[in-house]
Amino acid sequence: MQARAIIAALRARGRLSPEAAGWFARGLASGEVTDAQAGAFAMAVLMGGLDTPGRVALTGAMRDSGKVLDWDLPGPVVDKHSTGGIGDSVSLLLAPALACCGVYVPMISGRGLGHTGGTLDKLEAIPGYRTAIDADALRRVVEETGCAIVAAGGDLAPADRRLYAIRDESATVESLDLITASILSKKLAAGLEALVLDVKVGSGAFLPDMDQARALALALVETANGAGCRTSALITDMSQSLGHSAGNALEVLEVMETLTGSAVNEALWDVTAALGGELLALAGRAKDMDEGAAMIDAALQSGRAAERFGKMVAALGGPADFVERYPDRLPSAPQLAPVPAPRAGFVTQVNARALGEAVVALGGGRLKATDRVNPSVGLTGLAVIGEEMEEGEPLALIHASSREAADAAIAAVLAAYELGEDPLSEPPLIHDRIGPEDVA
């Protein structure tokens, strides 16, 4: 089999067979496929598209290009994936809550991308927390604590790592088929029995348009189920920040307040319960989503999820007393500055992407891969759609490393908010659900 023949067939709108997908993925991992051939392959997929069997074949081949974890545990192995957003720290609540419900969660997560925050960056705001561990350590932590939120090891889906970089260079990032295979190959390499997908839609999402978000959700659910993993997706709102905070340590602080009950963020809680309920039903631990959501509620309300989170943090190198002393353990920024509302009115629109970009500009994200992240900076107290503001009342509070950075962030946040005379209702948190039965 030759790369040129596979590329030529795709260019002619031919099918991608499991044999061809397997050969190409192995060639990506081994280096037998050149960068030029990888770029041509990505462009052929972008221009011609793949049918469902082809997308399943590519996903499975990229999953199998490296190590695929297997487990011998007394409960199902599950995970969740989010397409990314602003103030989205659901993973930090969901993993320990699920672990309290009899399932095991080897959560393979990523870093911030563009204007969106990254789960690994948030956890690395905790002193000592290690996100880079090998498969044996991952297995040990999951067995001991029920959950571990870590980075993908170098031996998981190496074909995807190579193709991901090529897609960026070859202007093929937006291919629905390649996005689907990239997301799922890493997740399925973790040996999952069930997966729930959180596909964001709105101004702060990777895909702001509902039709695009639904198309991606359908492709992901259809492909994952075709690859043998029971999967469903919720399309959730990202027309504003999900949390009241945006920024790595600040989001961890908000998570801990919610876990310990000192200041519960209801939006974070509700999305966590919905995703967890869906996943417990998929894994056979609950009869339906509602029963599963009630199980997640109970884990959060009882404090068991907070205790489990603390065990995970300690097992991955963080402070053993993190749950008890998290305010002292997290870094804080030296400059605080409120963003005064320019006039009285109701919040009618939020440019969530602009808020994310403001956090990046403060140093809370990366403009390029080599940038260092400042975990202490960001935004808190973010006003929400429908909230009534008095003139001068803070729309948000800036946490910055310098006065100059704070002033620039104030201007950016002011530009991200629109105020009107009439009140609006907050948008629904969950817009749609796509389950296995919708793609059968």
Asked, for residue 88, whether it belongs to a domain, the answer is yes
The torsion angles phi and psi of 152, rounded to 5 degrees, stand at: -65, 130
pLDDT for 115 equals: 82
DSSP 84-144: --SS--HHHHHHHHHHTTT-BEEEEE---BTTB--HHHHHTTSTT------HHHHHHHHHH
Note whether 100 and 246 are same-domain residues.
Answer: yes
pLDDT value of residue 173: 82
Q: From first to last of the 440 residues of the chain, give the pLDDT tens digit.
A: 789 999 999 999 899 999 999 999 999 999 999 999 999 999 999 999 999 999 999 999 999 999 999 999 999 999 999 998 999 999 999 999 999 999 999 999 988 767 877 899 999 999 999 999 999 999 999 999 999 999 988 888 999 989 988 887 888 888 999 999 999 999 999 999 999 999 999 999 988 999 999 999 999 999 999 999 999 999 999 999 999 999 999 999 999 999 999 999 999 999 999 999 999 999 999 999 999 999 999 999 999 999 999 999 999 999 999 999 999 999 999 999 999 999 999 999 999 999 999 999 999 988 776 788 999 999 999 999 999 999 999 999 999 999 999 999 999 999 999 999 998 998 999 999 999 999 97
Q: Give the pLDDT score at 169.
A: 83
One domain for residues 50 and 31: yes
302 and 377 assigned to the same domain: no
Residue 69 counted as domain residue: no
Q: Are residues 94 and 234 in the same domain?
A: yes
Return the SS3 of 419: strand
Same domain, yes or no, for 51 and 93?
Answer: no
CA distances from 235 to 75, 97, 135, 315 (A): 27, 21, 31, 33
In a domain, 72, yes or no: no
Classify residue 209 by its DSSP letter: S
Residues 344 and 384 both lie in one domain: yes
d(CA 416, CA 103): 40
What is the crossing angle of helices 266-282 and 248-260, to 10°?
A: 80
Instruction: Tell me the catalytic residues.
Output: 79-82, 119, 167, 182, 186-187
- Phi, psi values for residue 258, rounded to 5°: -70, -45
Structure tokens at 298: 């109970």
Question: What is the pLDDT, as a whole number, of residue 313?
Answer: 98
Looking at the fold, whether 228 and 319 belong to one and the same domain comes out as yes
Residue 55 located in a structural domain:
yes
Q: Are 304 and 342 part of one and the same domain?
A: no
Angle at 287 between CA 80 and CA 230, to 5 degrees: 40
56 lies in the same domain as 167? no
Whether 251 is in a domain gets the answer: yes
* Counted domains in the chain: 3
**Which of these, 153, 152, 151, 163, lies nearest to 26 by C-alpha position?**
163
Instruction: Give the contacts of 218 (CB within 8 A, at least 6 positions apart).
Output: 233, 434, 438, 439
- The CATH number of the domain holding residue 191 is 3.40.1030.10
Burial 255-268 (b: 16+ CB within 10 A, else e): bbbbbbeeeebebb
CA-CA distance, 242 to 122, in Å (whole number)?
15
Long-range contacts of 5-8, Cβ-Cβ distance < 8 Å, separation of 24 or more: 6/41, 7/37, 7/40, 7/41, 7/44
Give CA separation, 179 vs 83, 152, 182, 219, 220, in Å: 10, 17, 5, 10, 9
- Give the pLDDT confidence score for residue 207 in this predicted structure: 87
Domain annotation covers residue 330 = no
Whether residues 269 and 173 fall in one domain? yes
In angstroms, the CA 153 to CA 317 distance is: 17
Q: Which domain holds residue 12?
A: 3-63
Residue 5 tokens, joined: 């023949």
Residues 43 and 181 in one domain: no
| Rounded-to-integer distance, Cα 182 and Cα 55, Å | 11
Report yes or no on whether pTM surpasses 0.85: yes
Tokens for 74? Answer: 């007394």
In a domain, 7, yes or no: yes
Residue 71: inside a domain, yes or no? no
Same domain, 309 and 352: no
Instruction: Give the model's pLDDT for residue 371.
Output: 81
Q: Which of 274, 247, 273 is nearest to 365 (CA)?
A: 247
